[in-house]
Chain A
Amino acid sequence: MADLWLQFVLTIDATLRVATPLILCAMAGLFSERSGIIDISLEGKMLMSAFAAASMAALTGSPLLGLAGGILVSVALSLIHGFACVTHKGNQVISGLAINILASGLTVTLGIALFAQGGQTPFLNKSERFTDIVLPFAEQAEHVPVLGTIYKEIISGHNLLVWVALFSVIVTGYVVFRTTFGLRLRAVGEKPEAVDSAGGSVSGLRFQAVIIAGVLCGIAGTYLSTAHGAGFIREMAAGKGYIALAALIFGKWRPVPALLACLMFGFMEALAARLQGVEIPVIGNISTDLILVLPYFLTVILLAGFIGKASPPRSIGVPYIKER
C-alpha cells in the first residue's frame, strides 16, 4: 500500500514535469488564438527554441543565455507568422504548418553545421542547465507521513521553469481578463472591426499577441532541452505542441481549464511511462501507445460536441480586411 502511494506521488511529480511545456504552450496559444490568430506552430516554435537554447547554453555555458536565445528565436518565428497572417493576411494554418516543417529541417541542418553530432547539441552539464530547486526542509519532511511525501516529491525539487509555467497561468488569467489590454485582445479575436472603429489597431494587437505567444513557446522549448533534458535531440518536441493545442481547445480557451487539461494530458503521459512493461493483475500488460493517444482522441470527442461544447473566438482564422 505504502509502495502504491509512493508510486502515485512519483507519477504526480512526473506529471508536473511533463505538463510544464504543455502549460507554457497552451498559454502561448491562448494569447494568439484569443486575438484571432490560429497557432498550430506552437510545435515548431518550441522545437526551434529548444535547439537555440541548448546551442546557446552549450556555447556560452549559461542557461540564462540559453533561455534568452530560446525566446529570441521563438519570437522571430512568431514574427514570421505575424508577417504572413497579419500583414499579408495569409492562411494561418498554412503559415503555422510551414513554421513547423521549417523548424524540423532547420534545427537538424544548423545542428550539424554547429556541432557535427548528427543534429544533436552536445550534452549539457549541470551548470549549463536549469537544475532542480530543492526547497528547505525537503529531506526532513520525508519522515512526515503523507504531507511530507507530497512536499518532498511533488512540491520540492522542480526547476525554475516549472514554477514559471505555473506562474504563467496566473499572469495569463490576469492579463486576459483583468486588464484593458486583455479586453482589447479579446475584442480583436471576437470582432476586430469594433476595435478598429474604436480607434485601436487590429494589427498592432495581433502582433503583440503572437509575440507574447513566441516568448512563452520560447520558455517551453528552453525547458525541453536545458531543464527537462540535457541537450537538444532532433524532433524532441515530439507532438507536444499539438497536445498543448488540444489542451487549449479542451480548456475552451480559458487559462485554468487549459491548465487542468494540460495536467490531465501530462498525467496520461506520466502514467504511460510508469506502466511501460508493467504487468497489472487481471488486466495484464496495458499498451502504453493507447494511453498516449488518449489526448488526441479526447480532443476529437470534445470537438465533436459529445462532451460539452468548445466554441472558439468568433473571428479566429479570419484575416482582418477593412470592408469597402
Chain B
Amino acid sequence: MNASSLPRWIDIGLLPVLNLIAALTVAGVIIAIIGENPFVAMGVMIKGAFVYDGALGYTLFYTTNFIFTGLAVAVAFHAMLFNIGGEGQAMIGGLGVGLVVLFLDSVLPPLLVVILAVPAAAAFGAVWGVIPGWLQARRGSHIVITTIMFNFIASSIMVWLLAGMLMAPGQMSPETRSFADGINLPLVYEVLQMAGFSVSRSPLNLSFVIALLACFGVWYLIWRTKLGYIIRATGHSERATIYAGHDPAKIIMLVMAISGALAGMMSLNEILGVQQRVILNFTSGYGFTGIAVALMGRNHPIGIVLASLLFGALYQGGAELDFEFQTITREMVLMIQGLIILFSGALAYLFMPAVVRIYSSLRKPTGSG
C-alpha cells in the first residue's frame, strides 16, 4: 500500500491538513513556552486577519503576493525545477516596473505607463529566472544553488542602484523618487466605493484580480495544453522528453522564464499597488514564502489560492499580534512558516504510514464483508 493506492481526498486533503495541524501544534507549544496562551494568540490572529475593519482587504493584499510567488514555485516544480529564486526575481521585477515608470511617467499618460509597467514586471522577472534556467539547461549548474546565488546578486544590484543612480535626489534612504500622480493600479476599495458599496480602506488592488487570472492561466497551461504536457513530461523524465522529440533545455528555460515572470509580477502588488516608488527589500521574504505556499498547495492553483489565503491571514494577523502582545512579534509568523515548510515539505509523508494503516484497517471489514 502506498500513496497512489490511497483515495485522492486523503492524499490531497487529509494529509496536508494533518501536516498543517502538526506545524501549528508545534508553534502553539513554543508560544506556550514563552509564556503566552496559544489559543488567545490564535484568536487575536483570526480577528486581526478577518474580523477587524479593513482586515480582510489587508489579508487579501498579502494573499496576492503569495499567489504570485507560490505559482512561480509551482510552475517550476512541474518541470521538477526547484526555483528558490522567487525573492530575487520579484526584486528585479520591481526594478523593471520602476525603470519603466521613472523613464516614462513624464512623457506618457499615466494609463499607458501602467499598461507598460505590468509586462515590464513580468519581463524583468523572466530574465532573472531564465538565466539560472539557461545555466542549468546548457551548462549543468544546479538550479537550487544558482537561484540562491541570484537572490544575493539581485539584492546587491538593488542596493547599488537604489543607493546610487536611482536614489531620489535629496533623499537619504535607499529608494527612488515617487512615481507621478495617477501611476498606480486601481485600489479595490476605491472602485467599490465608486460603485456605491461602503468598504473600508485597504491596499488591496487590481493585482489581486491579475493574480487570480494567473492562477487560471497556470492551470490551463499545465493541464490543458500540449506545452503543459511536455513541461510535466520533462519534469518526470528528460530522456523521455528527448525521445518524444522535444528539447528539455528549451523547456527548462521556458519554464524558468514563466516562473520568473510570475514572481516578478508580485512587484505589481507592492510597487504599483501601494508604494508608488521602488524601495529596498519590498519583497520581505515573500519569495521564500512562495515555496511554503506551493508545497502546501501541492502545486495546484486551487491549493495555492487556499495556502496563500492562509499565509495572508498569518501575515495580517501576525501584525495584529505585534499590537496585542508584548512578547510576540511578526517574527512569530516566520517561525510558523518555517514549521509549515518542514512539515508540509520535508516531512510531507510523516503521517502517511499511520494514515495508510488506519485506512486499510477501516476498509478491510467492509471490503471483505
Contacts and interface: CB of A to CB of B under 8 A. Distances in A.
A85 interface: yes
A119 B30 CA distance: 16
Contacts of A312: 142
B109 interface: no
Interface stretch (B7-15, B120-128, B176-184, B333-341): B333-341
A52 to B, nearest CB: 15
B349 A97 contact: no
Contact of B331 (A92, A93, A105, A300): A105
Nearest to A300: B149
**Interface hub of A91, A94, A107, A292 (most chain B Cβ within 10 A):** A94
Contact of A40 (B144, B327, B329, B333): B144
Contact of B142 (A90, A104, A105, A303): A303
Interface in A9-66: 38, 40
A296 interface: yes
B156 A249 contact: no
A108 B34 CA distance: 12
Determine the main DSSP class of B at the interface with A: helix
A155 interface: no
A312 B34 CA distance: 42
A290 B332 CA distance: 33
A312 B332 CA distance: 36
A113 B32 CA distance: 11
20 contacts: A40-B148, A84-B347, A90-B345, A93-B82, A94-B341, A94-B346, A97-B341, A98-B346, A99-B338, A99-B342, A105-B337, A109-B331, A112-B331, A246-B145, A287-B164, A289-B163, A300-B146, A303-B141, A304-B141, A305-B139
Contacts of A90: 345-349
A101 B341 contact: yes
Nearest to A81: B346
A105 B334 contact: yes
Nearest to B348: A90
B7 to A, nearest CB: 22
Which 3 pairs of residues, A with B, have the shortest CB-CB distance?
A102-B338, A105-B335, A105-B334
Contact of A98 (B140, B144, B153, B338): B338
Interface string A171-210: 0000000000000000000000000000000000000000
Interface size classification for chain B: 35 or more
Given A101-B288, A104-B334, A246 B149 contact: yes
A297 B342 contact: no
Determine the main DSSP class of A at the interface with B: helix
A308 interface: no
Contact of B156 (A106, A110, A292): A292
A293 interface: yes
Contacts of B163: 289
Contacts of B157: 293
Contacts of A116: 326-327
Interface of A: 38, 40, 80, 83-85, 88, 90-95, 97-110, 112-113, 116, 119, 234, 239, 242, 245-246, 249, 287, 289-290, 292-293, 296-297, 299-300, 303-306, 312
B329 A112 contact: yes
B295 interface: yes
Nearest to A89: B349
Given A94-B291, A105-B334, A109-B328, A296 B346 contact: no
A314 to B, nearest CB: 14
Given A97-B84, A300-B150, A289 B156 contact: yes
A97 B160 CA distance: 27
A281 to B, nearest CB: 21
